[in-house]
Structure 1
């Protein structure tokens, strides 16, 4: 399933986006595929390694097998979140939009607080 997911991501990266219009630069496309493979391989690999450890330590009893089982379950359940976060960190456009949103939200919060303070002072 992980290999299938990786193939789907790479095939989606090969398609030009709506904003690009044409095929785009082959070098940039290869770079984005390499970046996706570099980001997704550790995410998929860590869970597979823990899965093999689950098989190995499953025969023994104790605290270590329980830790391995819980860590395997937790990392597998959050795998989609990790993929989303690495995709957001990996794309410069997403980082810029997120930074713009955070800075505009903080500016609006500051102006809202200052307007509340001035209105409360004016009432007194």
Structure 2
């Protein structure tokens, strides 16, 4: 509905370019810039994006934040497109139901995912806290289950819970 003016082939090509091309370019540039002085290597021979010497961690943080911002913009565009369509017809009621389901999922899942990644930041700040690592791993491993339950199983079209 939002990108209906584009063909499937064009959307697929754009998706592959963005999904595989951008990360490849970012990885190649990061390694090319940091490899000569072993700048991407952190203590104990671990290959990770070193922050202290090269700030290579920005090669992960900046694209991740960009993706989050683009996703927020796309959600806003989709919501406006759904709300601007004709009022009163049967498809409008179904779209409103879909919108309510989406908003309910976002309201429930956002705190769960936010909590998960807050715990992830906590594990980075306090790497010796075993309990924090266990709770983070538990929440992180259950994200797909949360999506299944709150996004699918609790939908009135699927099941009456």
Structure showing the higher helix proportion among its residues: 1
- Comparing both chains, which one has the higher relative contact order based on Cα–Cα distances under 8 Å and sequence gaps of 6 or more? 1
User: What's the TM-score, normalizing by structure 2?
Assistant: 0.40
User: What's the TM-score, normalizing by structure 1?
Assistant: 0.49
